[in-house]
Amino acid sequence: MKTILRMDAGEALEQARALWESMLDAISYPNDDQTISLIANFQAPAIRDQLMADIPGIDGPMDRVLLAQTHGTPQWSRVEWAQQLLLHAHTHSSTKHSAPILTAIAFINWWEGRGSKAHQFLELALDADPAYHLARLSDQMIGSGMVAGWNMDKDRAFRPWGLEAS
């Protein structure tokens, strides 16, 4: 984290995005060093937000992607893999560094129409860091009944595979 903070902000973001993109394109879990770098990148709010916005593979303004308010269709298999990578990172993170990872997982669940599961991940994030503002604001947003925009269109909404689809 100290290395990221000492870097030029643009360079730090570029390196974080390159690492995250390589992980999202991979077919296996990252090594420990890559996982630790990912956890560190998620600690910087500006980097965290962009990495979260990169998950669906949609080119658009970051805020609109995060709120699922784009015209593009998410690459759902990429979103599912991102969730697996974040869960993997969570198992390697300390409690004090887990809130951003858990919040990102909550967003994925919300995008997929699983508000209750998203709420559970946000509660875990707030248990880890009660002052984590993104988790608190996101929990209020989801608790108010806001539905991810992609779920308002059956052609763009998440469709589960396997046993969950039954």
86 C-beta neighbours (distance < 10 Å), count:
26
**Please, what CATH class does the domain formed by 2-165 belong to?**
mainly alpha
> What is the model's pTM?
0.93
Long-range contacts of 2-10 (CB under 8 A, 24+ apart): 3/40, 4/40, 4/41, 4/43, 4/44, 4/47, 5/44, 9/46
Residue 161 has pLDDT above 70, yes or no: no
Q: What is the pLDDT of residue 165?
A: 45
pLDDT, one tens digit per residue, over 35-90 is: 999 999 999 999 999 999 999 999 999 999 999 999 999 999 999 999 999 999 99
Per-chain mean pLDDT for the chain? 93
Give 159's pLDDT tier (boundaries 50, 70, 90): confident
Give 6's pLDDT tier (boundaries 50, 70, 90): confident
- Enumerate the domain spans of the chain: 2-165
